[in-house]
Amino acid sequence: MQRKKECVAMLLAGGQGSRLYALTNNIAKPAVAFGGKYRIIDFPLSNCINSGIDTVGVLTQYEPLELNEYIGNGQPWDLDRSFGGVHILSPYQAKKKSSWFEGTANAIYQNMAFMQKYNPDYVLILSGDHIYKMDYAAMLKAHKATGADCTIAAIEVPLKEASRFGILNTNADGSIYQFEEKPKQPKSNLASMGIYIFTASKLFKYLKEDDENPASSKDFGKDVLPAMLNAGEKMFSYRFQGYWKDVGTISSLWEANMDLLGEEPNFDVNDPDWKIHSRNPLAPPEYIGEHALLGNSLISLGCEIGGTVINSVLSSNVVIEEGARVIDSVLMAGSVVRKGATVCYSIVDENTVIEEGAAVGEDKEAGAGIAVLGRNIRIGAGAKVAGGQILDKDYKGE
């Protein structure tokens, strides 16, 4: 008798994240640091294990090295299992056909053998670039209760932003009668979150048909979901109530980090009933100097603070020297701000050094935008980086 898992999760984590510019030059978007001690992929992985789903395929493609290394054997998320657990699934060469993943649906189709190995009744499809806490078990329960072939998690968004999303038009019972992929004139504000539960047999059927269709773009939103709807399959929405942020842009990534701050943050990562697991760095305790000034900030292990840090998020091993100022900013691991330098309304990637007297970014009220510094670069002494400027190479100033 074949061993089985009731539900297998497939996590799409191969995106380039081009709208994050310098932050994803060398890493996949799900590997981008977030919230001091996390990476974006920690959230769907933690949601899986917290929901009782212990078999996860992570589909990678763009710059996978750092993401693969970070996930490792899955131990931080309790996903190091002898049967199941987390598995990295990259494009591979097969006897009949081999290619890069051509779209979200094709990526899942190319890994049909992985899913079928566990003989699942249901398959959960996830994206690796959203920040949220969600009980997938509750969504699966709703999927069973409605007898749906496909259930799509959805959240209400402002109508003026609805054209950025796949939009669900639903009946009173939640059944979907129309799916519109990024419509110019949306009929509703109920947006797909890119989270789907399929009855496995239906998913396999439509993935095979989609692969055999030369006119298909191999995408769930554009091809598979409309095909199922047109064929009369039972499709239902699952309304999500809670915090959810697509961190695919510089501004949304900065906003999501800021949402962690305050005595009552918009998004609480300290919920003991829904822990967000991560691979923690090997670092000593943080050190706060005698003349340091801190306010409304997250400071991670290994940080050395001698200057001023206000309304900011610092990852591990960040150094803020005496006389330096960091305001309204996100600094990733190993970055250094030397004496007299200022960082304002900015995102600074890993291991970047801002030399003495340099000024990065402008006050957020100035409206110039968020300054972004890529990883492993150096900003020269006295250099000025304007608000909204994006740099991925050493900069000595004009």
Distance of CA 185 to the CA centre of its chain: 27
Could you read off the pLDDT of 159-202 as tens digits, one per residue?
Answer: 988 988 889 999 999 999 999 888 999 999 999 999 999 999 99
φ, ψ (nearest 5 deg) of residue 144: -65, -40
Give me the mean pLDDT over the 321-350 stretch.
Answer: 98
Give every CB contact of residue 154 below 8 A, 6+ residues apart in sequence. Answer: 168, 190, 191, 192, 193, 237, 238, 239, 240
Which pLDDT score, from 0 to 100, does residue 98 have? 56
Three-class SS state of 88:
strand
Tokens 């996949």 -> residue:
28
pLDDT value at residue 2: 66
Model confidence over 65-115: pLDDT tens digits?
Answer: 899 999 999 999 999 999 999 999 987 655 555 566 678 898 999 899 999
Residue pLDDT, tens place only, 247-269 = 989 999 999 999 999 999 999 99
CB atoms within 10 A of CB 173: 8
Asked if 327 and 307 count as a contact pair (C-beta separation under 8 A), the reply is no
**pLDDT score at 93:** 55
- d(Cα 398, Cα 385) in Å, to the nearest integer? 9
pTM to 2 decimals? 0.94
The pLDDT of 341-362, averaged and rounded, is: 98
> Token pair of 379, please?
């900003």
- What pLDDT sits at residue 188? 93
Whole-number Å distance between alpha carbons of 398 and 23: 23
Say how far apart CA 120 and CA 99 lie, in whole Å: 26
